Structure 1
Amino acid sequence: MDSLNLKLPIPARIGFIITRGQSCYWRKLKTELSSFDVAAVVSELKQRIIETRIKNIYQTSRSTILLKLHKPNEQLQLLIEAGRRFHLTGYVHEIPSKPPAFCMALRKYLRNGRIREVFQHDFERIAVVKVDTKHGEMMLIAEFFGEGNIILVGSDGRIVQALTYRKMRDRNIVRNEVFVYPPSRGKNPFKLKLEDMEELKNFGETSVVKALTRFLSIGGLYAEEILQRAGVQKATPCKALTKTQIKRVFEALSQILSKISRGTIEPAIIVDAEGEYVDVTPLRLVKYEGLKHVPFESFNEALDEFYSKTTSKQKVAVLSEKLTAEIERQERILESQRKALEKAKQQIERNRRIGDLIYMHMHELQQLMDAMKRGKEHGKTWEEIVSEIQSRKREEKKPEAFFESFDQKQLILNVSVENMSFPLKLRKTVQENAASFYARAKKAEKKLRGIMESMRKTEEAIEKLRRKSADELRETEKVKPLKAVKREWYEKFRWFRSSEGFLVL
């Protein structure tokens, strides 16, 4: 049977093709923030959430929390998804009726707290929100590398709560232990000087694009962007870099950092020819020239729009993968049942055929069996008996011509009749041997009926899964992210509009 015929993306394959000149290449769809993204988000959040009060906290999924923030005449929502994203959101997010333990702990310590600071740690993919609470100044630390984590740290620097606890080689995320940031994987570009860039030459034969990702830990996308802006070929060996090239690389990096730190960014969602979202960036990148850019007023807004839409599509893709995997599993079961069915049919045919052959040559086969028994009664060894039979077989005499071999331990005579080889038990009569083969055929027939019934049930299960898959996927695709309705400042009072259109409180 064919598997589910739905043209839906599978999460591991979500991505897009970039075409530049005569070449084109595949790029995976954005699923996490880069260091530059975190820097741009934090820069904007400093203008939006400082001095806001944390009204409430919700955990919308295993790895996602939503902070409801309040400031005079404005309500904000800050979304943090471990290992993936961090931004203000204007969309409605489904909230579970019963908050998980992690969410309850965050509420206990952070609710009604006031956000005093938000910053990026050392240009790493780590964002820190400092909150002034009744328990003292606490830090909510969000990590966006690997699987990510969300960690609450107390005023004494010790871990109060974490989304995921783990022990690692260089640090532990364990309750009551002092929180330690992960070791820096590269230099902080904001603290970099021109002379520091000379260290790139120490990477020797390594291509400059690879060296730059390690040297600054910035990821391949921005490493290539910096080199393109600097006019340096990414495959250039580091030892071959000239002072002029190194200076241009430094200037290109500084230009990008300056735009982010000053807030003069150009946030946009990158869209392919089919209108599908492929990336979201705080700056216009040379790599994406030629693709459509949908501009936004803020990077937070761009991230919110991008992830809200792509997350919805990924839900469809994950569901598609799950349902297709189950259908394929059932189809493998069906294929196994088909093979068992064919084997049962062959067993029925073979055993019946052997039973028929035994009855057709009953007299000759009985003679052969009796001859062997008489030889043993006269004191001959089995070797002597077999030797005599083989001698007569060479002379093509019957019934010895049917003989193939003899198992002395089991007392089983193996014969070949009309090109069909089968065993005969010497302790039984010819009729009893034939009856045993007919019994096997009957048993195989019963098994055949069971297999056919199982196949029917499996085929019904597959069809049911196909219908369920189509229905669930259609329903999932229908669910579109909804924008939260913005409440006006006066809605907390009793109000109405007069017939002239005036607001009356």
Structure 2
Amino acid sequence: MDPKRELTSVDLAALVGELDTYEGAKVDKAYLYGDDLVRLKMRDFDRGRVELLLEVGETKRAHTVAPERVPDAPGRPPQFAMMLRNRLSGADFVDVEQYEFDRILEFVFEREDGVTRIIVELFGQGNVAVTNGEYEVIDSLETVRLKSRTVVPGSRYEFPETRTNPLTVSREAFGREMEESDTDVVRTLATQLNFGGLYGEEVCSRAGVEKAMDIADADEAVYDRLYEATERLALDVRNRNFEPRLYLEDDAGDGNDGEAGDGGEGNDDSSSGRVVDVTPFPLEEHAELAADPYDSFLSALDDYFYRLELAEEEEPDPTDQRPDFEEEIAKYERIIEQQEGAIEGFELEAEAMREQAELLYAEYGLVDDILTTVQEARAQDRPWEEIEERFEAGKERGIEAAEAVVDVDGSEGIVTVDLDGDRIDLVAHDGLEQNADRLYTEAKRIAEKKEGALAAIEDTREDLEDAKRRRDQWEADDGDENEEEADAEAEDTDWLSLASVPIRENEPWYDRFRWFHTSDDYLVIGGRNADQNEELVKKYLEPGDKVLHTQAHGGPVTVLKATDPSEASSSDIELPETSIEEAAQFAVSYASVWKDGRYAGDVYAVDSDQVTKTPESGEYLEKGGFAIRGDRTYYDDTPVGVAVGIQCEPYTRVIGGPPSAVEGEAATTIELEPGRYAQADAAKRLYREFRERFADESFVRKIASPDRIQHFMPPGGSRIAEQ
């Protein structure tokens, strides 16, 4: 797993509880390193020197560090550091708070001449804002001008919009947040309840709830278990029941069971391995990782980021050593074996469910007698204990229906029957048909899991073949590639004339959709069919994203992503107009507009929160369709335009999309326009043209087959545009 580089909201909630023990310390000096690391040097009368680091760049953290670990003071202090010294020198540290459940810390300092607040934003681009006691911004590392908020000197600091705090949410509000979701349980906890990915999974594990359970399948009992797990976690934070852990992976990427050793305060050499996470208490999600215990979360954070920096400084150049292909191949073979076992299990489980449903119908009279007996008794307010006693008495008299009953669970309203040696749970208040339908539905759900597993195993087999191919290529080259050529910058390399272009393959998660990166490096993805359109809206649409669609019927759902799905989504990101215009051209080019031979069409754009799968009353949405609430921004007469190119750096692959976005990323491109050649025929023409352009024809053959080129072409006829 990749090492953690940003503190979570749960981390900050725990962190505040330890930082406030330093209240009363006096500030000596402030430093700024680069443009994202602030250091405050303080004196605590009980503990002596205190060093506080606030970093808001690629790494986002806030914690104290051992004095011997602070970086050397930079040269001439910049204006921001001078401003901090002028306002904080001799000031008392009086308070630290987390804003709501957001990744924002507010530090408060007091001096005779006034109050200074340092607000540290540990999300998105990151920021440190310095305000007076009335929240008027004195200065900030980054100027923020978004539709939703502004952070500029002279203005009042504006916090982001308040989000749900899962550590204080009521049971009723928790249930409403879950009910309003249209995805699975873990994604709902991560986004709607703002737990983030890791703690969303942790709550599921602690509650014993399947992470991938669709929210539609979750009932009140599931919600109760999840809420209880959330309350226990919140209680640990409020009562400071911390047992900090620093988690490690060994060099092979696998953890070890159990605790690795004693961490304690400032322990640099507690256990070997690569640090990957640090948490205020042990996590079930990390049960397979080696773990160092610590006395305080602050000391664990200090060690974690110190060791992370050391590991990055000492990390060897991967080009100097042979990758462990054998271990990678063995890993994929193990995964395939597990997946094959899971598929077989799904098949058996689904078949067992179907057989149970058929048994109910085969024993229709018997099962109906049992359910009718229970329902009539409950209608007369008979207690469950009495119902169970009646079945026991019936067994003694040899009544067949009573003999089939093996258990009565009044707490769950379940009656378990034995039919031909199969034990089947019946929901007592439902009829036979409803119980059978429930079993058939469950069998269908399990069969769908099998389909997902089949798709996953194909992906793993492709990964396995890729690892074998890379191993064979390495051995054929004998590791004797020209290092200067491999490390050359793309703009300094004449890829077309190279006799041998090194292959660097990458298959991103979005590769099965239509996609491109805008000139501003934002990802745009579009559906290839109704199923993918449906999937994009349901699974990948996040706050801050833009959705674009043509006015004409038959276009792809086009999503301009503000963040990657692995990142925390934010509605505060202001997407550049150039990116929106390129996304609009993408939407119109891969729609029926191109297929009809037209050269322009109208496109509209809306925010993600305007898109819903719930139709207006009396209306119906087809698969892949969606409804829009609110105003639309129109891009009239948007010209079509598609270029297909071959990228050589950082990856070797075919790319395609609006010419303005593709041309800067590819070694060579071919621009298309609507024309008379069928898609497959046009793709072959492009393939031949690319082979003629590259000296290394085998390179084109390996990464840019006609099928792969066709993957990036619009539907309908095309031709090469005249240059």
**TM over 0.5: same fold?**
yes
Say whether residues 1:293 and 2:291 are aligned partners.
yes
- State which of 42, 47, 54 in structure 2 corresponds to 1:69: 42
Q: Which amino acid aligns with 2:6?
A: E
Report what 1:39 is aligned to.
13
Distance across 1 between alignment mates of 2:486 and 2:12: 38
Report what 1:303 is aligned to.
301
CA drift at 1:257 = 1.5
Alpha carbons 1:201, 1:239 under 8 Å: kept: no
* Unmatched runs of 5 consecutive residues or more in structure 1: 1-15, 17-27, 340-505
CA drift at 1:336 = 6.8
- State which of 240, 261, 275 in structure 1 corresponds to 2:238: 261
Report what 2:174 is aligned to.
197
Report what 1:270 is aligned to.
247
- State which of 99, 116, 123 in structure 1 corresponds to 2:101: 123
CA drift at 1:94 = 2.2
Q: Which amino acid aligns with 1:172?
A: T
The structure with the largest alpha-carbon Rg is 1
CA drift at 1:329 = 2.6
Note the alpha carbon deviations across 1:290-322, whole angstroms, 9 max, x for none. 21101111111111111112123335669999x
Q: Superposition pairs for residues 326-337 of structure 1, below 5 Å?
A: 327-329=487-489, 333=493
Say whether residues 1:85 and 2:61 are aligned partners.
yes
Distance across 2 between alignment mates of 1:338 and 1:120: 55
Residue 299 and residue 204 in structure 1: after superposition, are their counterparts in 2 closer, same or farther (change >3 A)?
closer
Distance across 2 between alignment mates of 1:245 and 1:116: 42
Alpha carbons 1:203, 1:238 under 8 Å: kept: no
Note the alpha carbon deviations across 1:270-305, whole angstroms, 9 max, x for none. 011231111111111111112110111111111111
- SS for the counterpart of 2:160 is coil
Report what 1:221 is aligned to.
198
Report what 2:27 is aligned to.
54
Residue 318 and residue 300 in structure 1: after superposition, are their counterparts in 2 closer, same or farther (change >3 A)?
farther
Structure 1 residue runs of 4 or more that deviate by more than 6 Å after TM superposition: 317-321, 323-326, 334-339
Distance across 2 between alignment mates of 1:127 and 1:115: 14
Distance across 2 between alignment mates of 1:244 and 1:338: 64
TM-score, normalised relative to structure 1: 0.58
Report what 2:215 is aligned to.
238
Distance across 1 between alignment mates of 2:285 and 2:17: 24
Higher alpha-carbon deviation: 203-212 or 112-121: 203-212
Note the alpha carbon deviations across 1:444-493, whole angstroms, 9 max, x for none. xxxxxxxxxxxxxxxxxxxxxxxxxxxxxxxxxxxxxxxxxxxxxxxxxx
- SS for the counterpart of 2:488 is helix
Residue 127 and residue 319 in structure 1: after superposition, are their counterparts in 2 closer, same or farther (change >3 A)?
farther
Distance across 2 between alignment mates of 1:61 and 1:319: 25
CA drift at 1:202 = 2.5
Report what 2:506 is aligned to.
none
Distance across 2 between alignment mates of 1:229 and 1:172: 39
Residue 200 and residue 334 in structure 1: after superposition, are their counterparts in 2 closer, same or farther (change >3 A)?
closer
Richer in helix (by share): 1
Length, aligned pairs only: 310
Q: Which amino acid aligns with 1:52?
A: A
Alpha carbons 1:189, 1:216 under 8 Å: kept: yes
Distance across 2 between alignment mates of 1:271 and 1:141: 31
Distance across 1 between alignment mates of 2:116 and 2:498: 63
Alpha carbons 1:57, 1:66 under 8 Å: kept: yes
Q: Which amino acid aligns with 1:217?
A: N
Distance across 2 between alignment mates of 1:37 and 1:324: 43
Residue 239 and residue 37 in structure 1: after superposition, are their counterparts in 2 closer, same or farther (change >3 A)?
same
Relative contact order (C-alpha < 8 Å, sep 6+): which is higher? Answer: 1
TM-score, normalised relative to structure 2: 0.41
Residue 326 and residue 88 in structure 1: after superposition, are their counterparts in 2 closer, same or farther (change >3 A)?
farther
Alpha carbons 1:138, 1:155 under 8 Å: kept: yes
CA drift at 1:104 = 0.9
Report what 1:210 is aligned to.
187
- SS for the counterpart of 2:489 is helix
CA drift at 1:101 = 1.3
Distance across 1 between alignment mates of 2:20 and 2:247: 25
Distance across 2 between alignment mates of 1:338 and 1:189: 56
* Unmatched runs of 5 consecutive residues or more in structure 2: 252-272, 320-482, 500-723
Distance across 2 between alignment mates of 1:182 and 1:104: 28
Report what 1:147 is aligned to.
125
Report what 2:469 is aligned to.
none
Distance across 2 between alignment mates of 1:318 and 1:32: 24
- SS for the counterpart of 1:190 is coil
Distance across 2 between alignment mates of 1:157 and 1:242: 44
Distance across 2 between alignment mates of 1:240 and 1:162: 47
Note the alpha carbon deviations across 1:424-444, whole angstroms, 9 max, x for none. xxxxxxxxxxxxxxxxxxxxx
Identity rate, percent:
27
Distance across 2 between alignment mates of 1:117 and 1:314: 34
Alpha carbons 2:274, 2:311 under 8 Å: kept: no
Alpha carbons 1:201, 1:240 under 8 Å: kept: no
Distance across 2 between alignment mates of 1:111 and 1:34: 30
Alpha carbons 2:181, 2:192 under 8 Å: kept: no
CA drift at 1:30 = 0.5
CA drift at 1:338 = 6.5
Report what 1:169 is aligned to.
147
